[in-house]
Each structure stands twice: as structure tokens, then as C-alpha cells.
Amino acid sequence: MPVYMLTAHAYRSWREDHPRGYVQRGDGLKDSNPQLAAWRARHANDDEARFEYDAQGALHDVVVEIAREKAVRLHACATCPTHVHCVISFQSPACTCGASMKYCAPDCPARGRADDVMIRMKRKMGQSLAKHFGTCGKPWFSRGWDRTPVKARPHFDYLMTEYLPKHETEQEGIFRRYS
């Protein structure tokens, strides 16, 4: 049974001057670059998006709705001002990468299903936030998303008991288990 932790970041929340570095689309993790961050801040069309507590509740509602719509099992969701995590699983299609690979291959059918779920979630979460705040055309999420395969029970247990709950206690967020 494929299990994934899906993550969507708020627009401009992980800038190029982040102490742990930043991710360049198609190029991977890069070292922190304050000059590039300053340049991009000067040329950005919109301010950084943040999900305050009431907006996080709306995001949870959308995650639950899309999990039902896409017929995936939602294990948990954690939100904080800068990002949304959800852990999902489904029966079919099966992962074709095998348990030894850290990341799913681009042609893995399970990866495609997880991406389909995330595309729908991001679209609906953005619409929900726009309605909640009365905005139109404001970007709420950065491009892309993170899809982390959860291929071992200890990893799943760590996510459910330590990593995701700390978003509530340490990051002004909301953590909910759903199954």
C-alpha cells in the first residue's frame, strides 16, 4: 500500500536566504543566498503568504474533502503558518519502485496518483483561502510540492507521533489524526 507525506509551502515562505538553504526547481537543494533573496523580494509581485490559525482550519477542511473525493485514506494533517503536510495512503495503483528506493521514480503509478491528489488539494486550498480572505489572484502556495514516500513503519510512526504533532506545539499550527 503506497503511503506518502505531501507538503505544500506558502508562497514565498521558504526564501533563498533560509538558513538551511533553498530548493531550486529542477536543480535541488542550494546553499543560502541572501543576495538572490533580496533580488527576488524586490521583484516579487505579491507579499509572502501566511496561514494564520483560522485559515489553517479551512485548509484542514479542504484536505479532508479532497481525500474523500479522490478516495485516498487520510492518516493525518498538520498545518502551520508556512506550510501544510498530509499523510495519505491508497490501495491502487501500487508503487513500482520497491522499498529500497528513497524517492519514487517519475513513471511510478503510485507517485502519479499522489501528485494528482496534491494538485487537487493545492487548487482547492487556494480557492478556499481566497474565499476566506476575499482575495482574487493572490498566490497562496509556491510552485510545486514535496512528495515523500513513507516506505517503512518506523518512518510512519515517527511522522504520526513526533514530526507532525510538533507543528502544533512548536510552530503555532494544527495537527489532526484522521485514522
Residue 99 has pLDDT above 70, yes or no: no
pLDDT confidence tier of residue 101, bands split at 50, 70 and 90: low
pTM to 2 decimal places: 0.88
Interval 22-31: pLDDT, tens:
777 777 777 8
Residue 1 has pLDDT above 90, yes or no: no
Residue 100 has pLDDT above 70, yes or no: no
Tell me the sheet residues that pair with 6.
86, 147
pLDDT confidence tier of residue 179, bands split at 50, 70 and 90: confident
> How is the chain split into domains, by residue range?
3-12+48-177
Spatial neighbors of 165 by CB under 8 A, at least 6 apart, are 78, 175
Q: What is the CA radius of gyration of the chain?
A: 16
Residue 157 has pLDDT above 80, yes or no: yes
In whole angstroms, give the CA distance from residue 141 to residue 65.
19
> Alpha helices, DSSP H only, in 5-159?
34-43, 53-69, 109-133, 153-158
3-12+48-177 CATH fold: Alpha-Beta Plaits (3.30.70)
Angle separating helix axes 109-133 and 53-69, nearest 10 degrees: 140
In whole angstroms, give the CA distance from residue 162 to residue 76.
12
Is the model more confident about 45 or about 78?
Answer: 78
Task: Report, as an integer, the average pLDDT of 147-157.
Answer: 93
Cα three-residue angle 17-19-23, rounded to 5 degrees:
65
Task: Report, as an integer, the average pLDDT of 53-79.
Answer: 96
